[in-house]
Amino acid sequence: MIFIKLFTIFEKQNQTSMKALQFILIAFTALLFSSNANAQQKTVQTATIKTTIYCDHCKQCETCGDKFNRTLLKEKGVQMVVLDEKAMTIKVTYNTKKTDLTKIKTAISKLGYDADDVKALPEAYAGLDGCCKKS
């Protein structure tokens, strides 16, 4: 009889402890996921940069898109590059802890293209194929 009574008391305490432990684990998991989501929102940004593209994508040169992708994706912190030749824009997704918009615009100007208010470097522009320059 005493054994059954002690077992019942222990079982009630154990259930209370398990419920408390479950609550703590759920709260901790929710906190962990919410802080991780906030950190990602603050560090990853997307910018649309206006440029000038005159290339008609002839077979004599590489296409602008490949050139932008290969070069800009090598830049530290750049995660994605989308070139819109018709709108003459470059959409760049980047990690703000590793790079900033000024560095990205400078990298584009080193390719020979304007990037918003940053003009193309003259020596880089001179190195472009003739079909990629303004006629």
pLDDT score at 1:
55
Q: pTM here?
A: 0.64
- The structural domains of the chain, with segments of one domain joined by +, span 43-132
What is the number of alpha carbons within 13 Å of residue 58 lying toward its C-beta?
A: 9
Residues 2 and 14: their CA atoms lie apart, in Å, by: 18
Dihedral over Cα of 34, 35, 38, 39: its sign: negative
What is the number of alpha carbons within 13 Å of residue 84 lying toward its C-beta?
A: 10
* pLDDT 10s digits, 54-84: 776 655 555 566 777 888 999 999 999 988 8
What is residue 116's three-state secondary structure? coil
Q: Are 99 and 44 within 8 A, CB to CB?
A: no
Report CA dihedral (119, 77, 72, 109) to the nearest 10 degrees: 10
pLDDT band at residue 14 under the 50/70/90 scheme: low
- CATH class assigned to 43-132: alpha beta
More confident position, 54 or 25: 54
